[in-house]
Each structure stands twice: as structure tokens, then as C-alpha cells.
Amino acid sequence: MDNSFHYQLMLVHALFRARVMEHLADAGLSPGQPKILDYLRRHDGSMQKEIAYACQIEPATMTGLLRRMEEKGLLTRQIRPENRRTCYISLTARGREKCKRVEQTFLALEESVFTGISAQERTQFQNTLTKICANMTDIRGLQ
């Protein structure tokens, strides 16, 4: 068993993603969609590039992702006359319904993930994770 950070990060990410999709099996969502819905639940009406930055996904990847979600009736893409470059993304009623499912899924899985871990240990873990997030955003071409 390898306890290195990079290996465990890869593992937890793959396992969590799989658990999310199991939990959402009957929701008719593909793997890239829950995170977008989760972001829009908190930031409805965002610009396309804001979602891309917040989720660390390339703008080119967002195009297809949002196109499929628009085709499914989960959201709308809107261009306003003030700035015809920018695309604003809003949830539809159907999209907001799916958001609830996604939120429940994330809440349920987060509880499962921390099973057998005390509140104090969990808080400490999440604090360190927040520091790591900040460190990762800073690192640029070390050495």
C-alpha cells in the first residue's frame, strides 16, 4: 500500500467520482455534469468563463459540456447586448430540480467519507486541505 499524497489523491478522486455516479445512477446525468450543477446552485447566472475557472476546467472543454446540458434542458446560454462575447449560464426549473439531487448526493457521500473520523479530526483535515488548495494555486513552474 502506497501512502504518498499523489497516489491517494488519485485514488480518492477516482473512488469519489465512481460513488457519485452510483448514487446518481437514475438521475440521467453524465460524469461531468454534477459539478457544474453544484456550482450553478451557488452561482446561478455566472459567465461561462467563471464556471471554467472555478471548476478548473478549460474553456474549450466547457463548450461541449454546457451544450449537452442545454440540449437536455438543464440550463440556458444567453448572450446580452452589453457584451456580445460573454455567455451567461442560468439553470432552468429542470436544472434546479437536478441540483437538489446532486446536493443530496454530495452531502450523503461526504458523511460516508468521514465515517469513523471525529469532528475535530475532520475540521483539522479540511483546514489543511484549504491550505493545500491555496498552495496549489500559487505554485507556478517551480525549479
Task: List interacting residues with a second copy (CB under 8 A).
Answer: 2-16, 18-20, 22-23, 35, 38, 42, 55-57, 106, 108-110, 112-117, 121-122, 124-126, 128-133, 135-137, 139-143
**Cell numbers at 67, concatenated:** 451544450
Phi-psi region of 141 (alpha: psi -120 to 50; beta: other; left: phi over 0): left
**DSSP helix/strand/coil, 70:** helix
61 binds, among a second copy, DNA, none (CB under 5 to 8 A by kind): DNA
**DSSP helix/strand/coil, 27:** coil
User: Which CB atom, from 14 or from 108, has the smaller least distance to DNA?
Assistant: 14
We find the least distance from the C-beta atom of residue 83 to a second copy, in angstroms, to be 26
We find the least distance from the C-beta atom of residue 51 to DNA, in angstroms, to be 8
Q: Does position 37 bind DNA by CB under 7 A?
A: no
Could you give the CA distance from residue 21 to residue 17 in angstroms, rounded to a whole number? Answer: 6
User: Which CB atom, from 32 or from 90, has the smaller least distance to a second copy?
Assistant: 32
Indicate which single residue of 19, 27, 32, 38 sits in contact with DNA (rule: CB under 7 A). Answer: 32
Q: What's the length of the chain?
A: 143
- Binding residues for DNA restricted to 83-142, rule: CB under 7 A: 83-87
We find the least distance from the C-beta atom of residue 120 to DNA, in angstroms, to be 33
> In whole angstroms, how far apart are CA 85 and each of 20, 56, 60, 108, 136?
34, 21, 15, 39, 30
Contacts of residue 50, defined as CB under 8 A and 6 or more positions apart, other chains included, come to 43
Q: Rule CB under 7 A: which residues touch DNA? A: 14, 18, 21, 30-33, 47-49, 52, 56-68, 77, 81-87
